[in-house]
């Protein structure tokens, strides 16, 4: 179960996702320029282990980076750097470790680190992100020094 419980610098949460052919096909439909074809496309053929596009993996890391914010749609990305180590395939189970690295109360930004491994513990990617959380209510984003600590 993935619960949104991060509320201070140093908190870590583990997320998981199984990658299916449908995930890759849907990503392909929304990311390609030629997604609209006036004629019916040929039905896809099942491939035993299809490699996913790297931008799909990058989007999963970005979604994980926004996870600490209670309303991820209200956080905007100021900066990101992603390093890819290995490809992601259908039938992989991804394990992402999300850690809040820093919080700047004046700028209302958080720095987040995300590492992604597959079921074989092979590192696929690592990213660092800075998110602007100024549109998020103060009670809904991580704090450097939460009350009572």
| pLDDT of 97 | 96
What pLDDT, on a 0 to 100 scale, did the predictor assign at position 2? 42
CA distances from 6 to 11, 43, 67, 144, 147 (A): 6, 43, 9, 11, 14
Whether residue 3 lies inside any domain: the answer is: no
| Number of domains comprising the chain | 1
Is the residue at 115 inside a domain?
Answer: yes
What distance in Å separates the CA atoms of residue 132 and residue 130, rounded to the nearest whole number?
Answer: 7
Between CA 42 and CA 52 the distance in angstroms is: 20
The predicted-structure confidence for 32-69, as pLDDT tens digits, reads as follows: 755 555 565 565 565 678 899 999 999 999 999 998 88
pLDDT attached to residue 98: 95
Q: CATH number of the domain that 54 lies in?
A: 3.10.129.10
Domain that holds residue 120: 12-35+42-140
What's the pLDDT tens digit per position in 78-117? Answer: 999 999 999 999 999 999 999 999 999 899 899 999 999 9
> Has residue 117 been placed in a domain?
yes
Establish if 7 belongs to a structural domain: no
In a domain, 58, yes or no: yes
In a domain, 121, yes or no: yes
The stretch 131-149 carries a mean pLDDT of 61
pLDDT at 47: 62
In a domain, 17, yes or no: yes
Establish if 146 belongs to a structural domain. no
Residue 4 has pLDDT above 50, yes or no: no
End-to-end CA separation in angstroms for the chain: 26
DSSP letters of the chain? Answer: -------BTT-EEEEEEE--HHHHHHHHHHH-TT---SSPPPPPPP-SSPBPPHHHHHHHHHHHHTTTSSSGGG-EEEEEEEEE-S--BTT-EEEEEEEEEEEETTTTEEEEEEEEE-TT--EEEEEEEEEE-TTS-GGGS-BSS-TT-
């Amino acid at each position: 179960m993935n619960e949104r419980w991060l509320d201070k610098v140093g908190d870590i949460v583990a997320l998981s996702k199984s990658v299916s052919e449908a995930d890759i096909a849907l990503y392909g439909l929304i990311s390609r320029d030629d997604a609209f074809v006036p004629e019916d496309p040929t039905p896809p053929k099942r491939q035993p282990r299809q490699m996913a596009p790297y931008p799909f993996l990058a989007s999963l890391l970005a979604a994980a980076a926004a996870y600490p914010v209670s309303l991820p749609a209200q956080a905007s990305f100021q900066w990101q750097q992603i390093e890819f180590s290995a490809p992601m395939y259908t039938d992989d189970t991804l394990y992402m470790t999300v850690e809040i690295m820093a919080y700047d109360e004046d700028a209302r930004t958080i720095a987040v680190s995300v590492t992604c491994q597959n079921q074989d513990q092979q590192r696929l990617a690592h990213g660092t992100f800075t998110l602007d959380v100024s549109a998020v209510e103060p009670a809904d984003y991580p704090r450097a020094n939460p009350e009572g600590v």
